[in-house]
């Protein structure tokens, strides 16, 4: 009995309406989001004609149109939604989806146009997402106006779905009322010809075994002159049709006749047999009945000498092709299916008599029982003939295949990779995007093809599910009962893995565990779901979708408000069964509670939003803390979701503002100014909270970021504020961090002794508190300071920092540690020694999402690349980083990038696009960092000199000398040769001598100092000594692999040798200089060499 939900009365099971109150007894349809195709048809000029017409005349016009529209829509599996005066609207894809709904809608439209008077109707079809109606309907009604009388236009998604089936022409974009952007529309001209050349098929991958089986079976039919039958079975998209295409391509001298079963339209019962007869006779679909009748009769006459038998054949074959039989042939409806099959068999056997034949019938899962019987009879009728009957079918529809069976499985990962490699010919597509296509396609070639098309036609769209794929999966989902589909949609909310207990919890009492397990078992049989050998949740069997896209489509069908409530239910269930366990699935808990709150907010479900918010923030923070060590970009995303959900002025908001501010800079997820804003907001909240330790910690974070932005004074003020606030308290990690980062700021300023003192205080307290974060920073600074002071043991500090960072698992700390080690390996052992360490740092940063630290490593590596003469690599790297924009690159790093680029362009004589000297030196001064000012001032001086401003050039070199005097020698030494060359061109020996007074500690610094002083000797007129010094440094530069400096030394040596009258040796030196400068493309220096040697 059925209980009425309105009045409660029991009704017989067969009743559709309540016998007591008349209410519908049909189940309330589940609210779903679907991809639908809308057919919108309108009578041309009806409004104008009906204004003065009699109501009866209007009705007489509308009724035939309404009748024709309803019949066409329903004939192709659509649902008549409504009549709106002179317009009709049909829906394809709801309440039941088919994989070819756009094609059905187009065919229905063409059928309607063929039925009504020519030019009396215009039709539009549009495809898109809809919950009930929405934009897809409005767009269909709008673009209908773009169709000519008697014409059909389609929208973009419909065009994508049907372009292989129909001839279309693109029309000018259509501007519709209420639409901001113009709408792309196409006019459908007709169906593509059956024999028209199809596009080149994709290369077949991974089906060699199946092709061999088909070939073996075919060869046996030929050698033994016998019939054989086989059905290729697989889910949609796996490659049944493509396998048949490839098999046909490989056959030579074979008659191939092909037909297909269809699920809609007229005369569908024997449509596949009709296709075979058309293929045998050469009859094309269309209205040319006389020609078709003539072709059929000609073949029948050749096949059958007996006139009565000819009549019998024609009486059975003409109705099959939609031809009116001659009078006296009897009622075609009374012809038994077996006779139709026998008539087809006789005709096909004759058509294929001259050669072995293949009869291919696709999609027999759509076949009516009568057609399946007819196909079996057909196969049996070919006994004794070399004929192979090949069918294709889907596993969840056809129970008994025709003949033997081959089941196609999904492609393996490697096969999918091979397929995608052949589809994606654009080498600019990143590897991670290719891998995403491979992963999401799940071994289904159709899905891979459609995902690649989406990628090619809408770059960046690979993350969406193409409409064609959604249609295929949606049809599979709609093929199962509504109650089972609801369970799978619940499973889709749980995720890629799910558990019966969670589904019971979501069923709200409508499904117990046995019922849920029964549905899951049926879903396993249908190939939608699979079981897992292990389970994340104790005491629960784990299931998963066989294909990730099945889960996506099932999930997408649920409206947001329903998703929100179900996510909350899953979160609560998961929290209850696993939330307190060690190793709790914090990422799943975070995602469910956060999704519940976010989607509830978007759909106005405030009760669900409030119920989920607190748990969402708590679990998101826990997940972010867990991810921060290995995936800074992923951790940022988690913290940022928590920040958006955290309550105003809450401790959680202060914490997530701080974490996103820091990681936003590290991972390159936020512009520097936005990171600064978040850190400042976090400090404000901490001051309101009043905890001095938390305030001090916030000040340190702010100081670090200000330093990264080149705001040295602000950074020092923040550190000093933290120290003064924290020192009166018992020692804690917050104070240790303030000491360590204060040491870093002093190091950047070149104050070696102060830096070492702060570092010692930070390291001592960090070790006492066992704080890895503090120890890493303090060891970096102490190690760098010791190396700068000539203490090689500083490398031990840097290596210890790397060991601690590696054990801690922090990507940013590991990258920074490797960068420090690389820098000092370069200074001590030459650029080649440091470059490998730089590259390791960059690779790790890219793998772990440590964008900021990776950028620092790339910028730090520039000096080594320049010294090694890899100038083209340097310019490519610099241009790539500069293209990211100032929001993504910290100001001190921008100074290095722009200065390095300008220096190389000058050396090559390329003055266009050079920065103005003031634009280089200004930002460098603001950073307060010795390294930046030393590099920028020497390059600015070279630019000024090249422009003829000798006074400005000298001023910049004086600034360089004064800014670097008495501080850490490294950056004065490594820029000394550049500065002294400017002095050489200015003829200012006194300034050159002051620069040459260097107290260096590393071999590379010593080499720069010796090279600078060789120039000073030449300027002082000590030519013999200068020539000796140049010869010495030339050989050492060669040993280091520094092409430019070796060539510059050779040029200086050549000048000195020429002055000493040793012309032969000078010629050799000049040749060395030309070779080195030429290899670098430094043509101005080649010209200087030629001038010196003339």
DSSP characters over 543-563 = EEESSHHHHHHHHHTS-HHHH
pTM (two decimals): 0.70
* 488 falls within a domain: no
69-96 per-position pLDDT tens digit? 999 999 898 999 888 878 899 999 888 8
pLDDT tens, residue by residue, 991-1023? 999 999 888 888 888 999 999 999 999 999 999
d(C-alpha 152, C-alpha 186), whole Å: 8
Return the percentage of the chain with pLDDT > 70, whole number.
Answer: 91
Nearest of 323, 367, 315, 305 to residue 339 by alpha carbon: 315
Cβ contact 173:145 at 8 Å: no
**Residue-wise pLDDT tens digits, 399-425:** 567 888 999 988 888 988 888 888 776
Q: Look at residues 363, 388, 407 and tell me which one is the last residue of a structural domain.
A: 407
Asked if residue 488 has pLDDT above 90, the reply is yes
- pLDDT bucket at 7, cuts 50 / 70 / 90: low
What single string gives the DSSP state of each residue in 68-87? HHHHHHHHTT-EEEEEETTE
Q: Is the pLDDT of residue 846 over 50?
A: yes
197 pLDDT exceeds 50? no
Q: What is the pLDDT of residue 511?
A: 66
Whether residue 439 sits in one domain with residue 402: no
Do 350 and 240 belong together in one domain?
Answer: yes
Q: Is residue 282 part of a domain?
A: yes
At residue 195 the predicted structure's pLDDT band, cuts being 50, 70 and 90, is very low
* 317 shares a domain with 376: yes
More confident residue, 107 or 180: 107
109 and 1, same domain (yes or no): no
What is the layout of strands, in order, in the sheet containing 228-233? 255-260, 357-362, 387-393, 228-233, 404-407
Q: Is residue 438 part of a domain?
A: yes
| Least reliable range by pLDDT among 18-27, 944-953, 959-968 | 18-27
The answer to the question of residue 963 being in a domain is yes
Confidence label for 465 from pLDDT (cuts 50, 70 and 90): confident
Q: pLDDT-based confidence at 268, cuts 50/70/90? A: low
pLDDT at site 464:
67
291: CATH: 3.40.50
Whether residue 133 has pLDDT greater than 90: no
449, 464, 479: which is the final residue of a domain?
Answer: 464
Same domain? For 269 and 165 the reply is no
Among the residue ranges 54-63, 568-577, 943-952, the one predicted with the least confidence is 54-63
425: burial class by Cβ within 10 Å (0-12, 13-18, 19+)? exposed
Same domain, 173 and 296: no
Share of the chain above pLDDT 90, in %: 48
Co-location of 331 and 373 in the same domain: yes
Q: What is the arithmetic mean of pLDDT over 523-529?
A: 87
User: Residue 178: pLDDT above 80?
Assistant: no
- The Cα 784–Cα 791 span in angstroms is 10
Tens digit of each residue's pLDDT (9 = 90 or more) over 1023-1062: 999 999 999 999 999 998 899 999 999 999 999 999 999 9
CA distances from 886 to 709, 776, 931 (A): 11, 29, 19
Q: Are residues 895 and 1036 in the same domain?
A: yes
The reply to whether 119 falls in a domain is yes
Neighbours of 537 (CB within 10 A): 19
Q: Is the pLDDT of residue 118 over 90?
A: no
Does residue 194 carry a pLDDT above 60? Answer: no
Domain end: 442, 464, 486, which one?
Answer: 464
Q: Which of 989, 988, 980 is nearest to 960 (CA)?
A: 980
> Does the residue 298 lie in any domain?
yes
Q: What is the pLDDT of residue 1090?
A: 95
Examine the domain organization and report whether 164 and 287 are in the same domain.
no
Q: What is the pLDDT of residue 325?
A: 63
171: domain CATH number is 3.30.70.1230
Tell me how many domains the chain contains.
5
Is residue 450 predicted with pLDDT exceeding 80? no
Indicate the pLDDT class of residue 135, thresholds 50, 70 and 90. Answer: confident
Burial code (b: 16+ CB inside 10 Å, e: under 16) for 27-63 equals: eeeeebbbbbbbbbbbbbebeeebeeeeeeebeebbe
CA distance 409 to 170: 38
Per-residue pLDDT band at 198 (split at 50, 70, 90): very low
Rounded Cα gap, residues 733 and 739, in angstroms: 10
Spatial separation of the C-alpha atoms in residues 216 and 228, rounded to whole Å:
11
SS3 384: coil
pLDDT at 714: 92
Q: What integer is the mean pLDDT of 870-882?
A: 94
Residue 196: per-residue pLDDT: 44
pLDDT at 177: 73
DSSP-assigned letters across all residues of 255-314: EEEEEE--SSSTT-TTHHHHHHHHHHHTPPSSS-HHHHHHHHHHHHHHH---HHHHHHHH
Q: If you average pLDDT over residues 53-79, what whole number do you get?
A: 83
825, HSE (Cβ side, Cα atoms, 13 Å): 20
- Residue 259 belongs to domain spanning: 219-407
The verdict on 3 and 39 lying in the same domain is no
Q: Which pLDDT score, from 0 to 100, does residue 478 have?
A: 83
**What is the rounded average pLDDT of the residues 853-873?**
93
For range 64-69, the mean pLDDT: 91
Q: How far is CA 692 from CA 609, 652, 698, 727, 1039, in A?
A: 34, 17, 10, 11, 56
CATH for 900 = 1.25.40.10
Strand order in the sheet with 497-498: 497-498, 543-545, 529-531
pLDDT exceeds 50 at position 890: yes
Mean of pLDDT values over 173-189:
83
pLDDT of residue 400: 65
Mean pLDDT rounded to a whole number for the chain = 86
Q: Is residue 134 part of a domain?
A: yes
Please indicate whether residue 734 or residue 136 has the higher confidence score (pLDDT).
734
| Residue 1094 exposed, middle or buried by CB count within 10 Å (0-12, 13-18, 19+) | exposed
In a domain, 730, yes or no: no
Cβ within 8 Å of residue 142, ≥6 positions away: 174, 176, 177, 178, 179, 183
Residues 365 and 326 in one domain: yes
Let me know whether 1054 and 1075 are in one domain. yes
pLDDT recorded at residue 22: 66
* Rounded mean pLDDT, 942-946: 94
Residue 120 reports pLDDT greater than 60:
yes
């Amino acid at each position: 009995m059925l209980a009425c939900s309105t009045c409660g009365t029991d009704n017989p099971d067969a009743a559709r309406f309540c016998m007591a109150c008349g209410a519908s007894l049909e189940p309330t349809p589940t609210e779903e989001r679907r991809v639908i195709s809308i057919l919108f048809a309108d009578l041309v000029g009806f409004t104008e004609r009906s204004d003065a017409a009699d109501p009866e005349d209007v009705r007489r016009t509308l009724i035939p149109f309404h009748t024709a529209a309803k019949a066409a829509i329903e004939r192709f599996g659509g649902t008549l939604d409504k009549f709106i005066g002179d317009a009709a609207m049909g829906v394809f894809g709801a309440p039941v989806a088919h994989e070819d709904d756009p094609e059905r809608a187009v065919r229905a439209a063409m059928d309607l146009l063929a039925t009504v008077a020519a030019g009396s109707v215009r039709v539009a079809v549009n495809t898109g997402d809809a919950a009930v109606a929405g934009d897809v309907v409005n767009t269909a009604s709008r673009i209908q106006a773009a169709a000519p009388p008697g014409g059909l236009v389609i929208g973009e998604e419909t065009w994508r779905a049907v372009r292989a089936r129909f001839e279309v022409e693109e029309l000018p974009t259509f501007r519709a009322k209420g639409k901001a952007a113009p709408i792309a529309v196409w006019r459908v001209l007709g169906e593509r010809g059956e024999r028209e050349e199809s596009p080149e098929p994709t290369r077949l991958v991974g089906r060699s075994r199946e092709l061999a089986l088909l070939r073996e079976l075919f060869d046996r039919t030929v050698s033994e002159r016998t019939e054989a039958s086989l059905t290729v079975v697989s889910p949609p998209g796996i490659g049944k049709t493509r396998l048949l295409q490839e098999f046909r391509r490989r056959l030579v001298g074979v008659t191939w006749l092909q037909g297909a079963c269809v699920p809609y339209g007229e005369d569908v019962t024997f449509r596949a047999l009709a296709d075979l007869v058309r293929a045998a006779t050469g009859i094309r679909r269309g209205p040319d009945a006389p020609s078709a009748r003539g072709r059929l009769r000609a073949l029948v006459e050749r096949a059958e000498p007996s006139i009565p038998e000819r009549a019998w054949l024609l009486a059975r074959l003409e109705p099959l092709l939609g031809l009116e039989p001659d009078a006296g042939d009897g009622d075609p409806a009374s012809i038994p299916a077996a006779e139709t099959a026998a008539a087809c068999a006789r005709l096909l056997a004759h058509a294929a008599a001259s050669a072995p034949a293949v009869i291919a019938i696709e999609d027999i899962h759509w076949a009516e029982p009568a057609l399946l019987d007819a196909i079996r009879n057909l196969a049996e009728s070919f006994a004794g003939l070399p004929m192979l009957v090949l069918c294709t079918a889907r596993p969840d529809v056809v129970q008994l295949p025709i003949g033997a069976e081959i089941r196609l499985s999904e492609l393996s990962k490697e096969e999918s990779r091979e397929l995608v490699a052949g589809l994606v010919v654009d080498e600019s597509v990143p590897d991670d995007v290719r891998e995403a296509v491979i992963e999401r396609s799940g071994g289904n070639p159709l899905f891979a093809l459609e995902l690649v098309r989406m990628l090619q036609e809408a770059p960046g769209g690979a993350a969406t599910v193409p409409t064609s794929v959604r249609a295929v999966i949606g049809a599979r989902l709609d093929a199962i009962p509504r109650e089972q589909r609801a369970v799978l949609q619940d499973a889709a909310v749980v995720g890629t893995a799910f558990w019966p207990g969670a589904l019971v919890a979501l069923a709200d009492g409508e499904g117990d565990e046995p019922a849920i397990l029964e549905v899951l078992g049926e879903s396993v049989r249908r190939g939608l779901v699979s079981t897992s050998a292990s389970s994340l949740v104790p005491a629960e069997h784990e299931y998963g979708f066989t294909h990730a896209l099945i889960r996506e489509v099932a999930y997408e069908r649920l409206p947001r408000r329903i998703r929100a409530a179900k996510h909350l239910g899953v979160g609560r269930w998961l929290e209850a069964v696993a939330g307190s366990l060690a190793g709790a699935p914090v990422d799943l808990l975070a995602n469910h509670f956060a999704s519940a709150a976010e989607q509830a907010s978007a759909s106005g479900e405030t009760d669900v939003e409030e119920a989920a918010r607190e748990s969402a923030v708590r679990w998101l923070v826990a997940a972010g803390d867990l991810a921060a060590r290995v995936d800074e970009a992923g951790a940022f995303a988690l913290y940022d979701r928590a920040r958006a959900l955290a309550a105003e002025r809450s401790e959680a908001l202060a914490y997530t503002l701080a974490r996103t501010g820091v990681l936003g800079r590290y991972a390159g997820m936020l512009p520097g100014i936005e990171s600064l804003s978040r850190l400042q907001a976090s400090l404000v909240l901490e001051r309101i909270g009043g905890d001095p330790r938390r305030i001090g910690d916030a000040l340190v974070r702010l100081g670090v970021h200000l330093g990264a932005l080149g705001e040295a004074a602000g950074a020092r003020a923040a550190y000093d504020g933290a120290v003064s606030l924290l020192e009166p308290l018992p020692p804690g990690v917050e104070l240790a961090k303030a000491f360590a980062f204060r040491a870093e700021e002093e190091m950047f300023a070149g104050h070696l002794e102060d830096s070492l003192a702060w570092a010692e205080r930070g390291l001592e307290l960090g070790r006492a508190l066992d704080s890895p974060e503090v120890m890493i920073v303090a060891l970096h600074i102490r190690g760098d300071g010791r190396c700068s002071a000539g203490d090689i043991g500083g490398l031990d500090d840097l290596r210890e920092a790397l060991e601690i960072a590696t054990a801690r698992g922090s990507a940013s700390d590991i990258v920074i540690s490797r960068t420090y080690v690389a820098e000092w390996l370069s200074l001590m052992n030459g650029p080649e020694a440091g470059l490998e360490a730089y590259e390791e740092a960059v690779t790790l940063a890219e793998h772990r999402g440590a964008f900021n630290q990776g950028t620092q490593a790339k910028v730090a590596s520039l000096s080594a690349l320049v010294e090694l003469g890899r100038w083209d690599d340097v310019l490519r790297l610099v241009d790539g980083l500069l293209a990211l924009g100032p929001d993504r690159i910290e100001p001190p790093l921008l100074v290095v990038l722009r200065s390095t680029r300008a220096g190389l362009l000058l050396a090559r004589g390329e003055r266009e696009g050079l920065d103005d000297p003031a634009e280089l030196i200004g930002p460098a001064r603001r950073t307060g960092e010795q390294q930046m000012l030393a590099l920028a001032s020497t390059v600015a001086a070279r630019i000024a000199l090249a422009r003829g401003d000798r006074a400005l050039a000298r001023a910049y070199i004086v600034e360089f000398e004064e800014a670097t005097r008495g501080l850490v020698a490294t950056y004065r030494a490594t820029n000394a040769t550049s500065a002294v060359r400017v002095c050489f061109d200015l003829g200012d020996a006194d300034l050159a001598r002051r620069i040459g007074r260097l107290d260096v500690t590393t071999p590379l610094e010593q080499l720069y100092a010796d090279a600078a002083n060789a120039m000073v000797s030449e300027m002082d007129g000590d030519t013999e000594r200068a020539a000796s010094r140049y010869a010495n440094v030339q050989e050492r530069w060669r040993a280091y692999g520094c092409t430019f400096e070796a060539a510059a030394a050779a040029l200086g040596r050549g000048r000195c040798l020429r002055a000493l009258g040793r012309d032969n040796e000078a010629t050799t030196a000049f040749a060395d200089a030309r070779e080195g400068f030429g290899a670098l493309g430094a043509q101005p220096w080649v010209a200087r060499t030629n001038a010196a040697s003339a």
